[in-house]
Amino acid sequence: MKNMINSSNNKITIRPYAPNIGAIITGIDLSKEITNSEQNIIKDAFHKYLVIFFQKQSEISPVNHIKLGKYFGDLHIHPAAPKMKNYPEIFEIHTDKNSKISNGAEYFHSDVSCEKEPPLGTMLQLHILPECGGDTMFANMYMAYDALSDPMKNFLNNLYASHESEHFYRGRYNKTNENVKYPSSIHPVVRTHPVTKKKALYINRFFTTKIEGLSKDESLIILNYLFEHCEKTDFQIRYRWQQNDMAFWDNRCTLHKAIWDYFPNERKGRRVTIKGDKPY
């Protein structure tokens, strides 16, 4: 159902994208100053819908994109991706006919979960899109947790897992800087969202390499089961981008994956990532 909110001078609409996750917001111009009341509306929708899509936007400059991200917290600087000149907080997303591999999002993941304090959210705006394809999928990790049986929940509630990035980042972005040490951390398999207090599964195919305390075989089997479980279509949406849409997703309770089906066409945009807390 469409939700209409009258802010000082705009009519803001919030429309669920699907019953399980996602909402579309119109009536907030992200290239302008965001008022306190708009910030509150965005935060509420972000916590309620887990990923929100701002439609009918214009291209936001790097300076304004950084400013926008900072309404929601300090910005994270990516440990491996090349930095945009003068704007280290911006992660440029770009693939075209020269790309040998996708933009690094081809499996379901939560952004840089290998960090000790992984980012709470990511804001991505795409400016150039292929004629078709290049959709992004998002999955609801509260639902993934809730769908488990009570004995499985109890088992997972006490477990921790390693999230590593060496295997993924080394040689992928910057082949000359091989002395760099890429982040790794240990996080609970089930995390509590610091705002909603709901429990979400917190593992992903990119970064989660081992469940602590289990044998290698046990860990492999449980992780593979959980990866498949989290990627069930019931928990997902697939977002078809329009030029200059801005997506804002919550990395603490969602996974996402960019579909790499449009080669050799171009897809380009910028993202900022907002710092988060240590998962508990």
Instruction: Name the residues that contact ligand SIN, by CB under 6 A.
Output: 93, 103, 105, 122, 124, 136, 256, 258, 271
Residue pair 253/21 in contact (Cβ under 8 Å)? The answer is no
Residue pair 275/76 in contact (Cβ under 8 Å)? The answer is yes
Q: Judged by CB, which is closer to ligand SIN: 68, or 211?
A: 68
| Residue 250 known to be catalytic | no
At which residue do the structure tokens 């060496």 appear?
Answer: 166
Quote the least distance from Cβ 70 to ligand SIN, whole Å: 18
Using CA atoms, how far apart are residues 29 and 273, in angstroms rounded to an integer?
A: 20
Quote the least distance from Cβ 15 to ligand SIN, whole Å: 21
Q: Judged by CB, which is closer to ligand SIN: 119, or 188?
A: 119
Determine which one of 65, 78, 111, 187 is catalytic.
Answer: 111
| Residue 245 known to be catalytic | no
Among candidates 180, 139, 187, which has minimal Cα distance to 162?
187
Q: Judged by CB, which is closer to ligand SIN: 49, or 219?
A: 49
Contacts of 33 (CB under 8 A, 6+ apart): none
Using CA atoms, how far apart are residues 141 and 253, in angstroms rounded to an integer?
A: 5
End-to-end CA distance of the chain: 34
Determine which one of 78, 109, 205, 267 is catalytic.
Answer: 109
Q: Judged by CB, which is closer to ligand SIN: 222, or 247?
A: 247
DSSP for 189-211 reads SEEE-TTT--EEE---TTTEEEE
| Residue 127 known to be catalytic | no
Quote the least distance from Cβ 106 to ligand SIN, whole Å: 9
Contacts of 187 (CB under 8 A, 6+ apart): 113, 118, 160, 161, 163, 202, 279
Quote the least distance from Cβ 3 to ligand SIN, whole Å: 26
Quote the least distance from Cβ 254 to ligand SIN, whole Å: 11
Q: Judged by CB, which is closer to ligand SIN: 50, or 124?
A: 124
Determine which one of 76, 193, 205, 271 is catalytic.
Answer: 271
| Residue 229 known to be catalytic | no
Catalytic residue list: 109, 111, 256, 271
